[in-house]
Copies of this chain bind each other. A is one copy, B any other.
Amino acid sequence: MARWQPDARNRLAAAALDLYEERGFEGTTVAEIAERAGLTKRTFFRHFADKREVLFSGTDELERLIVDGIAAAPATEAPLDAVVAGLAATAEVFDAERLPYARRRAAIVDANPDLRERELIKMERLSTSIAAALGERGVAEPAASLAARAGVTIFHVAFGQWVGGEEQRDFGALIERTARELRAVALA
C-alpha cells in the first residue's frame, strides 16, 4: 500500500456511506469503515473525529461559503438580501454532481435521531455565525438574529426541496424562490 494516499479521505467517506446504508449508522464501526476503504483506523482518525463527523465535515465549508458570501455583499444591501446572497453562494457545492451523495446522506441522517440532533446543532451554529456576520456589517439586534434565523429557515426548506425533489433543480434558484416565498408569508 502506497504511503501517499491523497484520496484517503474520499475513500473513507465513500466506504462509510456504503456501510451506513448496508448496516445502519449505529451498526457500523470505525474499524469496519477503515477496512472497507483498505486503510487503518489510525488513518480514519487523522481525517475524522468520529464516525458521525464523516457526515458533517462538509458543514464547516458550508458555513464558510455563507459567511464569506454575506461579507462580500454590497454594503448597501439589506440584511436579508445579504443573507440570501450568502446562501446562494452554496450552489457552488450543491450542484448536480453532489446531488446523489446529498440524497444518500439525507436518508441516513433522517433515519437516526442522534444524527438529526447533530444536524439541528449545526443549523443552530450556522444561525449564530450568520448573525455575527451581519453584526460585522453593522446590523443591530434583534434584526441580525431575526435575519439569520430567517436565512436558516430559507436554507432548510430549499435544501429539503433540492434533496427531496424528483428532478434535479438548481440550488441557487431554489434559495431565491424560497426567499420570495418567505417574504410573501411575512407580508400576507
Chain A residues close to B by CB (< 8 Å)? 78-81, 117, 120-121, 124, 142-143, 145-147, 149-150, 153, 156-157, 161, 178, 181-188
Once the chains bind, are A146 and B142 in contact (CB under 8 Å)?
no
Residue of B nearest to A83 (CB): B185
Once the chains bind, are A143 and B185 in contact (CB under 8 Å)?
yes
Once the chains bind, are A157 and B146 in contact (CB under 8 Å)?
yes
Inter-chain CA distance A90–B16, complex, in Å, is: 45
- CB proximity of A36 to chain B, nearest CB, Å: 30
30 A-B pairs with C-beta separation under 8 A:
A79-B188, A80-B185, A80-B188, A117-B121, A120-B120, A120-B121, A120-B124, A142-B157, A142-B161, A142-B178, A143-B181, A143-B184, A145-B157, A146-B153, A146-B157, A146-B181, A146-B182, A147-B185, A149-B149, A150-B150, A150-B153, A150-B182, A150-B185, A150-B186, A153-B153, A182-B186, A183-B186, A183-B187, A186-B186, A186-B187
Q: Per DSSP, are chain A's interface residues mostly helix, strand or loop, or mixed? A: helix
- CB proximity of A152 to chain B, nearest CB, Å: 8
- CB proximity of A92 to chain B, nearest CB, Å: 23
Instruction: Name the B residues within 8 Å of A117 (CB-CB).
Output: 117, 120-121
Instruction: Name the B residues within 8 Å of A143 (CB-CB).
Output: 181, 184-185
Instruction: Name the B residues within 8 Å of A145 (CB-CB).
Output: 157
Inter-chain CA distance A157–B131, complex, in Å, is: 12
Inter-chain CA distance A188–B146, complex, in Å, is: 12
Instruction: Name the B residues within 8 Å of A185 (CB-CB).
Output: 79-80, 143, 146-147, 150
Please name 18 further chain A to chain B contacts, defined as beta carbons within 8 Å, in addition to the given A150-B153, A153-B153, sorted by A numbering: A78-B188, A79-B185, A79-B188, A80-B185, A80-B186, A80-B188, A120-B120, A142-B181, A143-B181, A143-B184, A145-B157, A146-B157, A146-B185, A147-B185, A149-B153, A150-B186, A183-B187, A186-B187
